[in-house]
Structure 1
Amino acid sequence: MGFGDTDKIILQFNKVFWDPSFTTFFIAGASFPFAVCAPKKRSLVFMIGGTRARRMEASKDEDTITTILHDLRRAFPNHAFQLERYRISRWTQGPYACGSYFYYALNTSLETFETLARECCHNQMFWAGEHTSSGGSVHTAFATGQREAKKILQRLKAT
């Protein structure tokens, strides 16, 4: 298995300056080209992964925001807008996550998932998360959390 980088940059503006019917848009040639629109919150969410995410995480917030605002002004030249606040995820720098998702490496097998899902340490440690099941990502992480919670409850009831 491998571990990947994906980050979100959330920008909230003083007003909606893009077409409010847009759910997403793409800015050709931009450093952060893909935006998800949340017009009710006057927000845009930029999602980046891989090399772009690693480069962004190594840079200062101010540089990232300046770059995005420059690209937005180029894409929407006839619209004045003010950034009110922002948030940047930086998943690989978090002390607990250290990244944002796993992926199937070339030699990943079903046995890998079974091994990661197995109890260890005299049934004192239980593993949940997308890496313990072959079924997906966020929904699988949630489902495996429920799976392990049930195991823990069964162990507690047995004692």
Structure 2
Amino acid sequence: MSAQTVAPQARRQRGFNIEKWGWLFMRGSGVLLIVLIFGHLFVNLMVGEGIHAVDFGFVAGKYATPFWQWWDVLMLWLALIHGSNGMRTIVNDYVTHEGARKALVWAIGLAAALLIILGTLVVFTFDPCGGVLEDGALWETCLALGK
């Protein structure tokens, strides 16, 4: 009778698997980012007067509507989380010292969180009339808005 070798069964991990969810997030966010970025580029560069129309007034007009505020915030959040998750993966793959790896992963997370908070504040608190002087180009517009 010959001895058969049986390959060991792979153990199934129970609970939350962050690497699996990170992998799935990268695929989903990548597809969504393509739509968001190309939509952003199309509206900013192709519609109307194209690149020549992009100035402070153009951005102020876009950020006057919640649709474009949320579009840009979603693009910002996904891009930062997508990029920081990719950097986390690279650090986990190539940094061998445990302390350095933990410090770098924390630094990446803190930088991403800070940029997400600051970017979100800029988009939602943007006031085109803040600091506009009487001889400024936007003075008439701000008067019409009652600001």
Normalised by the shorter chain, which TM-score bucket? under 0.3
Give the structure with the higher percent helix: 2
The normalised TM-score by structure 2 is 0.25
Highest RCO, 1 vs 2 (Cα 8 Å, sep ≥ 6): 1
Give the structure with the higher percent strand: 1
The normalised TM-score by structure 1 is 0.23
State which structure, 1 or 2, has the greater radius of gyration over its C-alpha atoms: 2
